[in-house]
Amino acid sequence: MTMLMDGQFHGIQGELAEIGITLNVVARGEHLPEIERHIRTIKERVRCVYAMLPFKKIPSRMLVELVYFCVYWLNSFPARDGISDTLSPRAIVHGTNIDYNKHAKLEYGTYVQSHEEHDNTMATRTIGAIALRPTGNRQGSYYLYSLSTGKV
């Protein structure tokens, strides 16, 4: 097996050779068409979701999470030219699949009320948040962007 990588991975060439993997380090400034195409696909997905949002601007943290959201869903389905016709990259790496009923409840950018720690007073028990992406756990939890703190 041969792996194509940037120069920053040159240091692990010996370790990979021990397990039968040949490392082909590309020259500085050289591009790999397969990787460039994958990056372009991610950027296209991010632009599409961003264009559908009802917001004029979003915080930089939400933009980072938007990239994670797109990569999450790209990795959740088998790639047309991937190593398996039936297993997604997520299934291969994590050993788990997504469940539509749990992991596709909320779209990126959906306004939600988030449960917060509370006591037995009349203080509010939820705060406004923006849904970012599924965590991928079995319960179907989501990462949320808190509108009061600006944190995930």
- Find the mean pLDDT for residues 132-137: 92
pLDDT above 90 for 82: no
Task: Say whether pLDDT at 53 is over 90.
Answer: yes
Tell me the two tokens of residue 44. 């296209």
Tell me what pLDDT residue 144 has.
95
Distance, in Å, from the CA atom of 142 to the CA atom of 78, rounded to the nearest integer, reads 22
Taking 80 as the threshold, does the pLDDT of residue 108 lie above it? yes
Query: Above 90 in pLDDT, residue 3?
Result: no
- Quick one: three-class SS letters along 63-109? HHHHHHHHHHHHCCCCCCCCCCCCCCHHHHHHCCCCCHHHHCCCCCC
Q: Domain ranges in the chain?
A: 1-30, 32-146
Among residues 61, 68, 72, the alpha carbon closest in space to that of 152 is found at 61
Residue 58: band (very low, low, confident or very high) from pLDDT cuts 50, 70, 90: very high
- Residues sharing a CB contact under 8 Å with residue 103, sequence separation 6 or more, in sequence order: 76, 134, 136, 140
Average pLDDT of 54-62?
A: 92
